[in-house]
Chains A and B, each alone.
Chain A
Amino acid sequence: MSRIRLDAQLLKKEVQEFNAQLLESYQVLKRIAPVEIGQTPAETLLQLDKVRLQYYAPEHLNPDTPALLICYALVNRPYMIDLTPERSLLKKLLDKGIAVYLVDWGYPDASDRFLDLDDYINHYLDRCVDKACEHAQVDQMNLMGICQGGTFSLCYTALHAQKISRLITLVTPVDFHTPDFTLSNLARHIDVDLAVATYGNIPGTLLNETYQSLMPMRLGMQKNLDLPFSLADQSNAVTFLSMEKWIQDSPDQAGKAFSEFMKDFFQQNRLVNDALKIGDQPVRLAKITQPLLNIYATLDHLVPPSSSKALKGLTSSRFYREKSIESGHIGIFVSSKQGNQLSDAIGNWLHQDT
């Protein structure tokens, strides 16, 4: 006997319910103003071209807790860590009395096409580290890199070891050639020079399409079918709209930096092969001696855990720890299921004696 039995009457009812739910969703949408993201107040300490260093002061600064500089990825926007007040890693860190500095890379335009990784890491990030140290009145800063920002942070620490006290890498790609690294597999045969010659700066929309193509049905059909539930009430709808806004808010990538990152990391895997140079300086992970906390998401489809975990043994860190969180690449920041796991891990790490 077949396991499928679509009854016409039930089917009709289902379609009617689905459409009635859509009408309800429409009502919910009507009541919601345009969503606001990244609402935590910040002070801009430094502006270099389009790059800004933001300072977030905790309401009650804990003098025993060292400050933290967060380096986000060039792709997408850093307000992922402050999506809504209810889903804000930033707010949780501030609640722990941690002073947070955040690098906002801005939106590159045509005039930034020739910015390279040397500019981003040895100039912009370096100046941000200096400024954060000066502001916090310390000689060394704790650095946390997220995703590509984690890769940048590893390179930075290898090149400027004296300026960093502790390092945290969060959902960070390290080995770009692990078999389950789908994004990397798809990038392997792309003619990167042709891409930059064609587009100049690589459009953010193109990158979004690529991310979507990693799970096209789940991120397309499934998400659309779930829309009436995602928009069932105001609170869910605001979260959903904020997330959608973040997904769509994808800056273009400076052509030269994109080309270098694609070739050196994705295609040639130079970071783990000890063959990477940035601004003519060799980047050796073995030069990293700082205490290092490597956090990855077990369900990450963009940066598989295998890629992040490859960091173990590649540095000379005197205190290397891994922390896994059962979540996806984005869920690790915004999912309510995670509670305070991430902020606790970061806060504890900053306090830990090593």
Chain B
Amino acid sequence: MTDNLQATIRRWLTQFSDHSPITELPDWSELMQSLQQQGWQELPDQHAELLAVMTQESIEFTRFAGQLLQQHDQIETASFFKDFHQHINRLSDDLIFKRWLLPEQLGSMIKTRFWDSSTGIEMPWLKMLNGLTNLPELDLPFAQQSAYREFTRLINEHQQAFQDYTNHYSRINSKAINQLSEAIEQSEQQISSLKELHRLWVDAYEISYAERIATQEYQLAHGRISNTLMQLKLWFQGQRNRYLTQLGIASEASLNLAFEKIHALTKQVRQLESLQQQTLSLTRELEAIKQQINPSRDRQS
């Protein structure tokens, strides 16, 4: 089946190339996804994961090219930069969101209880904060109120850290676009390939990125977003552990306590063994010295 599908795609690619209007591109994503879904069943896990990456890459590459093609037969530089900037901002946003995802359970909680999809992905946490502040206080026990207040504080801190962090990326992207523009203008040869452009972009981006992450401000922002996200995760784990304790189930915290004690005991045992070895060794040395001092008495006895 997969081979048939591939053959179809190949035939279709050839025919498309020969007969279709210049500014049209195939809906590659649907075909590649079909191939991926069928191929997945046959390939080892690592290969299948790679195929998924390749599929996504193909879709992105084709989509961006298609976007450019829809404009004119001859693409203008100004509109190219505008589209490319949008393309890169989207990739960059994806990267940041993936990297700094809220803990899975928190994310679900926000989505199911507080997230109005009309707000999009930009400010779900602020929406959630409103939800929390609108909770009827009398309906909640004191401990829960405190927990929610703490949670609200942590979310707020994370939101601020996130904003600060994304600002750095906006600056990285803008500077990289400028550098790309300069690189293109300074290029001795005319650039006519999308891949070549991507490569120039990668160079420009890495220069801009390296400059930014070398700054104290970025390092602080990176530390801050890492720490606020961990605080949120820790808060959630604390809530979970309290809940498990109430149910009489051993939590991660109690397991850790046991592991810590075992580790301390293991060290003690090792030290004792080492001392025992030293004592044995000293005893042997002592015996040897005794024999050297008075070998005849030993023989007599």
Contacts and interface: CB of A to CB of B under 8 A. Distances in A.
A2 B78 CA distance: 10
Contacts of B45: 34
A191 B227 contact: yes
A247 B142 CA distance: 48
A8 B75 contact: yes
A7 interface: yes
Contact of B17 (A13, A18, A199): A13
B44 A217 contact: no
A219 B183 CA distance: 21
Interface residues of A, number: 67
B114 interface: no
A153 B259 CA distance: 28
A197 B230 CA distance: 9
B69 A8 contact: yes
Contacts of A188: 219, 223
A166 interface: no
Nearest to A213: B99
Given A5-B191, A224-B57, A16 B197 contact: no
Nearest to B36: A26
Given A8-B73, A12-B69, A225 B80 contact: no
Interface string B32-56: 1001000100111111001101100
Between B54, B195, B205, B255, the greatest number of chain A beta carbons within 10 A of the residue's beta carbon is seen for B54
Interface stretch (B21-29, B242-250, B283-291, B293-301): B21-29
Contacts of A245: 46
A123 B23 contact: no
B149 interface: no
B69 A23 contact: no
B44 A33 contact: yes
Given A26-B6, A216-B209, A198 B192 contact: no
Contacts of B184: 2-4
A161 B25 CA distance: 68
Contacts of B186: 3
A248 to B, nearest CB: 8
A190 B225 CA distance: 9
B280 interface: no
B75 A6 contact: yes
A4 B191 contact: yes
B42 A30 contact: yes
B44 A227 contact: no
Interface stretch (B104-112, B121-129, B130-138, B231-239): B231-239
A209 B190 CA distance: 36
A191 B222 CA distance: 11
A190 B227 contact: yes
A189 B224 contact: yes
A5 B191 CA distance: 6
Interface string B49-82: 0110110011001100110110011110100100
A15 B222 contact: no
A19 B28 contact: yes
Contact of A5 (B190, B213, B234): B190
Nearest to A33: B44
A217 B201 contact: yes
A129 B75 CA distance: 66
Interface in A1-43: 2-16, 18-20, 22-23, 25-27, 29-30, 32-35
Contacts of A35: 46
B8 to A, nearest CB: 11
Contacts of B50: 29, 227, 231, 241, 244
B9 interface: yes
B147 interface: no
11 contacts: A3-B185, A5-B191, A8-B23, A29-B43, A179-B214, A191-B226, A191-B227, A218-B202, A222-B198, A225-B61, A227-B57
Given A3-B184, A6-B75, A22-B54, 8 more contacts: A8-B73, A11-B69, A11-B194, A30-B42, A114-B263, A194-B234, A228-B54, A244-B46
Interface of A: 2-16, 18-20, 22-23, 25-27, 29-30, 32-35, 110-111, 113-115, 119, 123, 179, 182, 185-186, 188-191, 194-195, 197-200, 209, 213, 215-218, 220-222, 224-225, 227-228, 231, 241, 244-245
Nearest first, the 3 closest Cβ-Cβ pairs linking A and B are A189-B223, A114-B263, A6-B75
